[in-house]
Amino acid sequence: MDGYINILKSKLSPDHFDKLAALQNEEVNRFVAHAIELCEPDSVWVGDDSDEDMEYCRQLAIDNGEEIPLKIKGHTVHFDGYFDQARKKEVTRYLVPEGESLDPKLNQVSRSEGIKEIEGLQRGAYRGRKMLVRFFCLGPPGSVYAIPCLQITDSAYVVHSEDLLYRGGYGEFRRQSGNPGFEFFKFRHATGEVDERMTSSNHDRNRVYMDQTENTVYSVNTQYAGNTVGLKKLSLRLAIRKADREGWLAEHMFIMRVNGPKGRKTYLCGAYPSACGKTSTAMIPGENIVGDDLAYFRVINGKFMAVNVESGIFGIIQDVNAKGDPVIWDVLHKEGEVIFGNVLVNDGKPYWLGMGEDIPETGMNHVSMKWTRGMKGPDGKPTTCAHKNARYTVRIDDLENKDPDWNNSGGLPVGGIIYGGRDSDTSVPVRESFGWEHGICTMGAMLESETTAATIGAEGVRKWNVMSNMDFLSMSVSKYLKNNLEFAKDIDRPKIFGTNYFLKKDDKYLNGMLDKAVWVKWMELRIHGDTDGIETPVGIMPVYEDLRDLFSGILKKDYTREEYGEQFTLRVPENLAKLERMEEIYTSKVSDTPAILIEFLLEQRARLQQVREKYGDYISPFELSGR
């Protein structure tokens, strides 16, 4: 202990040393002291939850060139390196102790080897720089959901982003430090060498390593927030393990409030792979957003409850426009804190792909401070004005449509869960499962997404993504599914729904972009037993008259029997083909698959074959309903 204290006193001013000492936590002291010894900073700055410390980090990001102020007050832009524009799966690994192993599908390396490599890459990385020590909290401080987090970095941009995205955690450390078994997550990030634009230059030595035995994440030679903001998807992997030990669930889901008849409030959670409509569903006009990305589930007083882990949004900005995303558009054009990432900037104004405005021919962006249209990148490939993964970072509190109760420390009661995929020829726009197990097995476990033109590789390839959490699982698929199947089994669990906004005919979408507003209203009615449904082999579908009335009332649109018939036709061959794909995965690629999952797949196959014999391959919903 004395050794840690001596190291801390050698680099910290008395005021900053006192901030650490007030926590009375040996593990905090050890982690900070080791970072000082390893990374060798010139000085160490410790922040608390005060507005003054948050403003200090924001200004430091500007002063050191990591962020550039824009014309609108409070707006800044940050650029990542050309080769550092997204999460890199190949260098994101779990550190596994000798003699242990995770699911073979998870990228892993022995813990001793990984620690040796990451410490070699981080050794001396803070020379000539200031080491920043910040405290944050996943979930509301003071609640049963709260997970305190300690972030160490040399990047003011990282902690500025975290100030927008997460609740302050210094007070939570003070509250919990004396508790037996106090557990917190730790993150140590090093930007590495930078170029003249202050972006990480050694992209080929980028590493993101997760040490589950120590609840710690290490990252180096990267600035992209998905690799450096430890509380984002990196902490989700740690939280999934913690939830497994403690009997709750950590999910890659939004939380939204749907406003029902006579002022009724119903909360829905949804898991959608990238480009499947997740954020647009969470932000449906007329409803209220709680959070767009991460949710923790717990049973509280016999109720299924959820909390938004975050307090902000780190969203993809491509295709955000005034017509389709009025709430986000408003935030991005008014005074207040906004961090733009990897957009084009011309004369102090940001531009991005799909914004619905004319884009300048020149400006500064992730490619160059003097980008011009037609310019090729350092890899010789043509470039666009903004990156396809360009981002914005804002606070939930700055959204006009935020749910006033979004920060409730007790969580919010969940009425329904949605699993949304992307397929052009199989699933209907919306359906309800027959129950919790059926929904987990035939909607969550069978979730697929077709690749789009924005994806590297072939378009239209179906990618399996169990519950939209495949990239973030820190345990076997079978164990993860078992945890979900068994969770909250002694209480009334939420209804489960499946959505698909991308059904096509003759290469044209059968759904409008705003139709999802109708689907969630139908779910809300079903949750409260206010409307009937049609029982089909794959779940319960809406009755035509209900949708007709909802389209008229919500979108002021005539919804014809022909539209309904096309959208909700049961496509038997395609559904059987999907079952075959899933059976292949769960019998040959997933070990120890829960027996109940295979049973549900077989039962669904039998139901499909039965109706096929009676009605044929393509069955109108009117035939199934007998209307």
H-helix segments, 146-266:
156-165, 170-176, 225-228, 233-246
Classify strands 185-190 and 147-153 as parallel, antiparallel or unpaired: parallel
Contacts 24+ apart (CB under 8 A), 487-490: 487/247, 487/248, 487/249, 487/297, 488/297, 488/299, 488/304, 489/436
CA-to-CA distance for 469 and 293, rounded, in angstroms?
A: 11
Structure tokens given for 413: 């009661």
What is the separation, in whole angstroms, between the first and last Cα of the chain? Answer: 77
Largest CA distance in the chain: 81
Of the residues 39, 57, 269, 276, only one is catalytic, namely: 276
Active site residue 149: no
CA-to-CA distance for 79 and 66, rounded, in angstroms?
A: 8
CA-to-CA distance for 25 and 5, rounded, in angstroms?
A: 12
CA-to-CA distance for 506 and 42, rounded, in angstroms?
A: 63
- Cβ burial, residue 258 (10 Å; 0-12/13-18/19+): buried
- Cβ burial, residue 198 (10 Å; 0-12/13-18/19+): buried
Strand partners, 160: none
Phi first, then psi: what are they for 351, rounded to 5°? Answer: -135, 150
In degrees, to the nearest 5, what angle opens at C-alpha 187 toward C-alphas 182 and 193?
A: 165
Classify strands 312-316 and 391-395 as parallel, antiparallel or unpaired: antiparallel
Half-sphere exposure of 94 (CA within 13 A, CB side): 26
Amino acid at residue number 409: S
CA-to-CA distance for 195 and 282, rounded, in angstroms?
A: 38
Strand partners, 570: 619
CA-to-CA distance for 110 and 132, rounded, in angstroms?
A: 29
Tokens 């449904």 found at: 533
Structure tokens given for 106: 């998870």
The closest of 498, 523, 315 to 399, measured between CA atoms, is 315
CA-to-CA distance for 245 and 550, rounded, in angstroms?
A: 43
If phi over 0 gives left and psi between -120 and 50 gives alpha, with beta otherwise, what is residue 341?
Answer: beta
The closest of 528, 502, 536, 531 to 516, measured between CA atoms, is 502
Strand partners, 540: 432, 535
Q: What is the DSSP string of 551-615?
A: HHHHH-----HHHHHHHT-EEHHHHHHHHHHHHHIIIIISTT--HHHHHHHHHHHHHHHHHHHHH
Where in the sequence numbering do the catalytic residues fall?
Answer: 276
